[in-house]
C-alpha cells in the first residue's frame, strides 16, 4: 500500500487541530503529517508536535504559500490537503485506501462529501448544493479536502502563492486536464462561519468573492473583504 502525506495549513487552530490529527492517526500504513503554520500565536504548533506531526514554518501567511512549502517536503506520492477545522469519519481510511488501489486513480483529483457540524435545515440544503457543484460542476473547494497524486500536482503546475482562492485555482487547473471525483465518504467542517454570518449571507459573500477573483480584482482587496 502506498504511503500518504497529509498537508494542513494552519493559523491559530490549536482548539481544532488536535481532533483532526487524532482522526489521521487511524491511517494504518505509512503516514507523513505536515502542519504548515502561517504564524500562529496560540498553541497550534505545540498541539501538532504533541500529536506527532511535523511542523513547518511558512515564510509568508496564506494557504497557497503554505501549501507550496508543504508540497516541497512531501515524502509520499499521494498527498491529502485538509483544512485544520475538518473532521474525518470512521470510514475515511477504507475509502482512501480504495482510491489508492484503484487502477488509474493517480490521473484524477479526489474530494470528500461536505458535512457541516450543525443541525440546521439551511445547512443541509447547502450540503446538497455543494454536492451538485462538486460532481456536476467539477468545483469542490478546499474545505472538502483534496486527495491528489504527485504526478497530477506537477502536471497541473502545483499550488500558486495565493493568499486566497488557492483551492479554486488548483481545482480549475486540474479540471483543465483531468476530472475531479468523489472519494465516497464525508468530511465534516466547522459551522463557525455560517453561524456567525448566517447561511445565506455567507454563501452570497463567498459567491461575490469568487466572482471578483475571476474578474481579476486585486488579491489584497479580496483578502481584506474575506477577513472583515
* CATH code matching the domain that covers 4-195, chosen among 3.90.550.10, 3.40.50.2020, 3.40.50.300, 2.60.120.650: 3.90.550.10
Q: How far apart are CA 79 and CA 71, in angstroms?
A: 8
C-alpha cell at 16: 481544532
Confidence at 4, pLDDT banded by 50, 70, 90: very high
User: Which residue is associated with the grid cell 491528489?
Assistant: 148
Residue 167 pLDDT: 94
| Closest C-alpha among 99, 101, 129, 125 to residue 111 | 99
223 phi/psi in degrees, rounded to 5: -65, -40
Please write the tens of the pLDDT for every residue from 56-79: 999 888 999 999 999 999 999 999
Q: pTM for the complete prediction?
A: 0.94
142-165 residue pLDDT tens? 999 999 999 999 999 999 999 889
Residue with cell 487502477: 103
Which residue shows C-alpha cell 488509474? 104
Distance (Å, rounded) from C-alpha 83 to C-alpha 60? 17
Any idea where the domains of the chain sit in the sequence? 4-195
| Residue 72 dihedral angles phi and psi, to the nearest 5° | -70, -20
Is residue 197 over pLDDT 80?
A: no
- For residue 42, pLDDT over 90 is answered with yes
Q: Is 186 helix (H, G, I), strand (E, B) or coil?
A: strand
Residue 29, phi-psi category: left (phi > 0), alpha (psi -120 to 50), beta (remainder): beta
Q: How far apart are CA 137 and CA 134, in angstroms?
A: 6
pLDDT tens, position by position, 21-40: 999 999 999 999 999 999 99
Pairing mode, strands 180-189 and 86-88: antiparallel
3: which 3 cell numbers? 504511503
CA 133 from chain center: how many Å?
16
Sheet holding 180-189, edge to edge: 54-57, 31-37, 4-10, 78-81, 146-149, 109-116, 180-189, 86-88
User: Cβ(6)–Cβ(34) under 8 Å?
Assistant: yes
Amino acid at each position: 500500500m502506498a504511503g500518504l502525506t497529509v498537508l494542513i495549513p494552519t493559523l491559530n487552530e490549536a482548539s481544532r487541530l488536535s481532533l483532526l490529527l487524532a482522526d489521521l492517526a487511524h491511517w494504518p500504513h505509512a503516514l507523513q503529517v505536515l502542519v504548515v503554520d502561517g504564524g500562529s500565536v496560540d498553541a497550534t504548533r505545540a498541539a501538532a508536535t504533541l500529536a506527532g506531526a511535523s511542523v513547518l514554518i511558512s515564510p509568508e501567511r496564506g494557504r497557497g504559500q503554505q501549501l507550496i512549502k508543504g508540497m516541497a517536503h512531501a515524502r509520499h506520492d499521494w498527498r491529502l490537503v485538509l483544512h485544520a477545522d475538518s473532521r474525518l469519519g470512521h470510514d475515511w481510511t477504507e475509502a482512501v485506501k480504495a482510491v489508492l488501489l484503484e487502477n488509474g486513480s493517480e490521473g484524477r483529483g479526489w474530494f470528500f462529501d461536505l458535512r457541516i457540524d450543525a443541525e440546521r435545515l439551511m445547512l443541509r440544503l447547502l450540503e446538497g448544493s455543494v454536492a451538485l457543484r462538486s460532481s456536476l460542476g467539477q468545483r469542490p473547494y478546499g474545505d472538502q479536502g483534496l486527495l491528489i497524486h504527485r504526478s497530477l500536482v506537477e502536471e497541473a503546475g502545483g499550488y500558486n502563492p495565493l493568499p486566497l482562492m488557492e483551492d479554486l485555482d488548483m481545482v480549475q487547473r486540474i479540471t483543465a486536464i483531468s476530472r475531479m471525483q468523489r472519494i465516497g465518504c464525508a468530511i465534516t467542517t466547522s459551522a463557525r462561519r455560517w453561524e456567525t454570518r448566517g447561511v445565506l449571507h455567507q454563501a452570497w459573500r463567498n459567491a461575490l468573492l469568487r466572482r471578483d477573483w475571476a474578474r481579476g480584482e486585486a488579491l489584497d482587496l479580496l483578502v481584506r473583504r474575506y477577513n472583515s
